[in-house]
Amino acid sequence: MSSFKDIFDQYDWASTLSEICNKTEVDVHRALHTSRRTIEDFKALISPAAKPFLEQMAQISCKITKKRFGNTIQMYVPMYLSNECQNICTYCGFSMTNTIPRRTLTDEEILREINFLKSKGYDHILLVTGEANRTVGVDYINNAVQLIRAKFANITIEVQPMDQLEYELLIDNGLYGVLVYQETYHKSAYKTHHPKGRKSNFDYRLETPDRLGRAGIHKIGLGALFGLEDWRVDSFFTALHLQYLQKTYWKTKYSISFPRLRPHSGGLEPKVAMTDADLVQLICAFRLLDEDVELSMSTRESEAFRENIVNLGVTSISAESKTNPGGYVVEPKSLEQFEISDERPTEEVVAMLQSKGLEVVWKDWANNWQQ
């Protein structure tokens, strides 16, 4: 059975980096002024040669976004169910080598957290766990989805990769979307950062969106963790992955997230720095490549950065996020997966968005279980 791996294996990391860095201002100018941009145009738009064109890219990105999505931005919120994990990941506070108190929420605790988030207005929720099949495997996730499905228009998960049949079970019980970040598409660096656990299997993770597509999921979220390797090459492979999936599983919606390495208890320093200007360039490049893809911005980024980016291409944003299980009500002081940067309450973020001329969307569709 074919998968993205068949395409991925045709590319070489070093050659791809060289091609991106050798793009010229002529290539950038062509990419900016064509009506239908290709993956080669995307290389030009993320290249060093595109830096002087950032203002122009931002203007075009803003125009495309307003045309496709209007003056709207969608709100979502993450809820961490467990920090149990059987993987070693060098960049994560939940890594099994970190000697931290482990916690998995009970049904009653889940509902307490949910009631708080509903009181804030949220209708789109992202359920997050560490990767621990014995503790928070498909049965635990399935129970959590069924427990809360009547309360939310949209339930998305960010958990361990699963098999196709497991995804089909979750979809039947109310799951809307799955976020699965490759972290880095650099195969040897991936192994360095994931030396032990099921996550160390690069190919199984790479083919997860294929299993999701075959299962008939409504939405797939992609991304790389910027700081592990060269952000330009990781972004190219993310775009390549996106285009393959859109062509192969055309009924599914897609989103891109832009996480930069943040401080955590393990303390990994970024190998490759990604500046604010770099991140703006990348967000605009994705919007110029694809006017339909959802672009998401989390609370990893600062207040100032988020305020500046919300009108330049982003379509969904989180607020008041807690990255620890029970962090909203049950156990606010437990250890976080990583430090967030924008800690403003939901109401303050909403007021900021409205001051920018944006209409906040809490719910954009209803599932079969929500009245």
pLDDT at 11 over 60: yes
Strand partners, 77: 125
Give me the pLDDT at residue 43, please.
98
**CA distance to 44, 95, 220, 228, 235, per residue, from 250 (Å):** 26, 35, 11, 30, 21
Coil/strand/helix, residue 355:
helix
User: Taking the domains of the chain in order of start, what are their residue ranges?
Assistant: 4-21+38-361
pLDDT band, residue 35 (cuts 50/70/90): confident
Within 82-159, residue ranges assigned H as helices are 107-119, 133-136, 138-148
Question: What is the CATH architecture of 4-21+38-361?
Answer: Alpha-Beta Barrel (3.20)
Alpha-carbon dihedral sign for residues 228, 40, 70, 59: positive
Lowest mean pLDDT among 119-123, 236-240, 323-327: 323-327
Residue 147 and residue 70: Cα distance in Å, rounded? 34
Q: What is the pLDDT of residue 141?
A: 97
- Read off the pLDDT of each residue in 111-124 and give the average, rounded to a whole number: 97
The tens digit of pLDDT for each residue in 147-169 reads 999 999 999 999 999 999 999 99
Q: What is the mean pLDDT of the chain?
A: 92
Q: How far apart are CA 134 and CA 146, in angstroms?
A: 19
pLDDT (0 to 100) of residue 265:
45
Average pLDDT over residues 236-241: 98
Give the lowest-confidence range in 48-52, 164-168, 238-242, 339-343.
339-343
Residue 213 CA to residue 207 CA, distance in Å, equals 10
**Measured between alpha carbons, how far is residue 110 from residues 75, 141, 329, 344, 354 in Å?**
20, 12, 10, 23, 30
Q: Which residue has the tokens 């979750």?
A: 170
Of 370, 8, 364, 19, the residue nearest 185 (C-alpha): 8
pLDDT for 117 beyond 60: yes
- How far apart CA 108 and CA 115 sit, in angstroms, is 11
Q: What percent of the chain has pLDDT over 70?
A: 94
Confidence of residue 221 (pLDDT cuts 50, 70, 90): very high
Instruction: Choose from 203-207, 296-300, 303-307 the range with maximum mean pLDDT.
Output: 203-207
CA–CA distances in Å: residue 151 to residues 56, 248, 265, 281, 363: 42, 32, 34, 37, 12
What is the rounded average pLDDT of the residues 336-345? 73
Q: What is the pLDDT of residue 4?
A: 98
